[in-house]
Chain A
């Protein structure tokens, strides 16, 4: 074990993990941080291009995990990359697989039975573990913080730097603790919790900070729910979001293919138990929420901070005192074709999407299926499992039947309609979608698309009523 200096000041979990990975710290504030896992997808192509240009090789190739997720089709998968009609999109998937093989990365390609969204696959394979420093060429790398890892997104140049050196230059972020007292009420989900947090602190509320989520309301969450919360930390501007590992974490990890086993499991467990922060540790900012008061939420605007309880009305910009926020609200209302003070539950929706690294794990699909069982969706929609393993599990439980009987399409795993880049899954201009994804930015789901972020249960309720709804409306 790593002895801590006696009499050292109380530390946050973040600081403990940061210090453990610090190779060196320059006097001017930058640290060289050692990286345990680097997660990449098709979008990391420029990183390989720069690596080749500089004639560099990977320092720890197997610790670079490459998943085909962003550009993969969600139909015709038996045809492999041949099922991708657009040659430019096919090339994105093929170049990831080619580069990963050539450099010896851990490749989870299109045909792999483990295939899926990076942030669903790495945890379910046991690749993500407590105490790790995980970087990914994707902002939702924050998801992995649910295991008590320090995990954040980086750009392609930084991915290249990590691949070549296994390190990254970083300025130490500030710390924020978000304490959730009281458990979530029945009918409120982890998605409603994180949307409430973002609505409260704002989309830039945690900029420059690493969030540690704490309190009984967090401890009571399953790993899937914790991943949903940490996943959207980036939507609050946070560098990363983390939850201290506990028995829930260890039970989830035990027996996973890439998790340590035997004597190493015991050593790892002992180390993992030493990670949580000291009780007296100080944070730069503290936020407290009452978990019992969390209610189903939906976004109405073009930023994740623009959301309200499903029983509430859309705000009136005229009543907003902050000038920049008022202008942003007015622009969002115009883009979304909505009126000030309109009850959000009156908004008619065109389409639903259940999927993404935020809400496409098995528990999310169970939550949506529980609402749809015995009901019909009056809207067209896609259900896209977060991984091929999630898909198999859902099929074993008969969830695919529930979704299809309700009239929704059951697809193969990928990012699909969250990113809208696979050439097939995107919205038409002006189309309005109730979505379990993470971003409602203008054009996110296709040019001119209108997105309402919600929990899986609320999207399922919306599907049956044709307007924004929660299970409480059924």
Chain B
């Protein structure tokens, strides 16, 4: 997994709540990720393209100022709905490494951490202030420091965010959790032995 330490990049304000994973990656496009290739068009596809495939240039994501954006600042409930990991893969394929929002879908958050994408929760007035400053300065940068757990907006306003220690450690080091789990192979083995003896009907 790609490491995440510091990110100082263009941020796009997305003034929307409930951006669900069906919008982020329409179900019929999930299959695209089974094949290698460039999939930057998948993210929010039906918001960005007409039925004939022509782009809808008015959508904020495709405005030239945000061509190199790597951070999204949305409203609340980003990534709710389906557990499809393709949603995070679509976010990543479109060049984004971090999403700031008031709240997220739980499964989406877990999937982010498996794909080197950092979901950051801030309270409503902080997210609103950040988006407002990005609207005032189109194409401005936001700086994220994972070690310090801070987000700094273009107006200098800095906000602290919370993150689980294990997730932070994995993301900073670019570690995947399977290698971590394998260190506990003995504990799993011994748990399983007792568990199966006590609840013998569970094994298939």
| A interface with B by C-beta (< 8 Å) | 1-2, 23-24, 26, 28-30, 32, 34, 36-37, 43, 45-46, 49, 54, 60, 62-63, 88-89, 92, 106, 127, 129, 131-132, 136-139, 141, 152-158, 160-161, 164-167, 169, 171, 173, 203-204, 207-208, 234-235, 237, 239, 258, 260, 264-265, 267-268, 271, 302-303, 324-325, 327-328, 331, 419-421, 426, 429, 439, 441-444, 447-448
Residues of chain B from 137 to 162 with CB closer than 8 A to chain A in the complex: none
Do A328 and B16 form a contact, CB below 8 Å, given A34-B191, A442-B23, A442-B46? yes
10 nearest interchain CB pairs? A28-B165, A155-B85, A157-B114, A260-B201, A155-B111, A153-B83, A62-B204, A139-B83, A441-B22, A204-B77
Chain A residues near B195: list those with CB within 8 A.
Answer: 34
Give complex CA distance A234, B20 in Å. Answer: 12
Q: How far is the CA of A295 from the CA of B110 in the complex (A)?
A: 36
Distance to closest chain A CB from B120 (angstroms): 15
Partner of A46, one of B17, B51, B85, B192: B85
Tell me, rounded to whole Å, the shortest Cβ–Cβ distance linking A414 to chain B.
Answer: 13
Binding site for A on B (CB under 8 A): 15-18, 20, 22-23, 26-28, 30-31, 33-34, 46, 51, 75-77, 80-86, 88, 102-107, 110-111, 114-115, 124, 164-167, 169, 177-178, 180-182, 184, 187-188, 191-192, 195, 198-204
Chain B residues near A302 (CB, 8 Å)? 18
Q: Which residues of B contact A331 (CB under 8 A)?
A: 16
Chain A residues in 8 Å Cβ range of B188: 23, 32, 34, 165-167
B residues less than 8 Å from A89 (CB atoms): 31
Give the chain B neighbours of A155 by CB distance below 8 A: 83-85, 88, 107, 110-111, 114
Q: Is the CB of A447 within 8 A of B187?
A: no
Q: Jot down 21 A-B pairs with beta carbons below 8 A, ordered by A.
A: A24-B187, A28-B165, A32-B187, A60-B204, A106-B204, A129-B201, A129-B202, A139-B82, A153-B107, A154-B110, A156-B85, A157-B115, A160-B178, A161-B177, A164-B178, A203-B18, A203-B77, A267-B200, A303-B20, A420-B27, A443-B46
* Secondary structure type dominating chain B contacts: helix
